């Protein structure tokens, strides 16, 4: 459920829009976008949409962080993707007219704009530039998913853990100290993304900490030796 009802976020003066697929819209198109969207605040841990639900609109992340998850046959959660401000979510089910194949859950309090389904279809039909941006976004997300599948199938768990930490850094960046990854995930959530048990996740993070690749402080993880972490992940810088 959404928290505290709707909030007002003007599209014309929204810096996040400039980093989203809607950056190509002209002034009149932006005004039209603003008319056909509503915004709300979701508290940490709330569902934005749920697996097997029917899509009614497009979700654009104004602020906050979200995980896209699915449940396996054994009931275990698998994190498919992590998203940040400026990202759009729910577009695949919307465009294919299918039910959601995953759930979207907030990792922290988030401000999210919901764009009307009919408006979105009309907008991409009338604006080739917007259509291209949506296709480009789909291609980028598909590449991330393909890379993750390859990592899960071909790399050992130590390499996957190092790669996951590098992915978190690339997605959310550092805090002001230029070392601490700017997201807080539980050990279980990290394990769900890496594809391992929570126990293995805790052990590996402790090993990385002892080897001085990272530094741990509660849920916060700082990267101490970036080059060594890249080597451990077995990827090119």
pLDDT digits (tens, 9 = 90+) for 187-227: 999 999 998 999 999 999 999 999 999 999 999 999 999 99
137-168 as b/e: b if 16+ CB within 10 A: eeeebeebeeebeebeeebebbbbbbbbbbbb
Is residue 79 scored above 80 in pLDDT? Answer: yes
Is residue 176 scored above 70 in pLDDT? Answer: yes
| Domain pair 3-151 / 156-233, same fold | no
Residue ranges of the domains in the chain? 3-151, 156-233
Architecture of the domain made up of 156-233: Orthogonal Bundle (1.10)
Look up the pTM and report it.
Answer: 0.86
Domain at 3-151, CATH from 3.40.50.720, 3.40.50.300, 2.60.120.10, 3.20.20.70: 2.60.120.10
- The helix (run of H) or strand (run of E) holding residue 95 is helix 91-96
**Rounded Cα–Cα distance for residues 168 and 104 (Å):** 17
Those residues whose C-beta lies under 8 Å from the C-beta of residue 92, and which sit 6 or more positions away, are: 98, 101, 138
CA count, 13 A, side-chain hemisphere, 225: 11
Q: If you search the block for the tokens 């807080």, which residue do you land on?
A: 184
Span 26-42, pLDDT tens digits: 999 999 999 999 999 99
- Give the residue, 77 or 47, on which the prediction is more confident: 47
Q: Is 179 exposed, middle or buried (0-12, 13-18, 19+ CB in 10 A)?
A: middle
**110-116/57-63 β-pairing:** antiparallel
Q: If you search the block for the tokens 């890496």, which residue do you land on?
A: 194
């Amino acid at each position: 459920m959404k928290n505290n009802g709707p909030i007002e976020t003007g599209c014309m003066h929204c810096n996040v829009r400039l980093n989203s697929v809607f950056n190509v819209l002209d002034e009149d198109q932006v005004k039209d976008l603003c008319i056909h969207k509503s915004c709300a605040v979701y508290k940490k841990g709330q569902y934005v949409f749920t697996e097997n639900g029917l899509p009614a609109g497009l979700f654009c992340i104004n602020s906050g962080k979200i995980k896209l998850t699915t449940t396996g046959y054994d009931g275990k959660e698998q994190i498919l993707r992590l998203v940040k401000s400026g990202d759009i979510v729910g577009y695949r089910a919307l465009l294919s007219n299918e039910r959601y194949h995953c759930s979207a859950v907030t990792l922290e309090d988030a401000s999210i704009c919901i764009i009307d389904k009919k408006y979105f279809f009309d907008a991409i039909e009338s604006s080739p530039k917007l259509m291209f941006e949506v296709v480009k976004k789909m291609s980028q997300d598909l590449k991330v998913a393909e890379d993750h599948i390859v990592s899960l199938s071909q790399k050992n768990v130590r390499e996957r853990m190092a790669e996951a930490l590098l992915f978190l850094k690339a997605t959310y960046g550092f805090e002001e100290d230029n070392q601490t990854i700017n997201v807080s995930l539980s050990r279980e959530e990290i394990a769900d993304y890496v594809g391992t048990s929570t126990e293995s996740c805790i052990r590996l993070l402790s090993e990385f900490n002892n080897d001085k690749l990272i530094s741990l402080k509660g849920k916060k993880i700082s990267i101490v030796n970036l080059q060594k972490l890249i080597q451990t992940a077995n990827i090119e810088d």
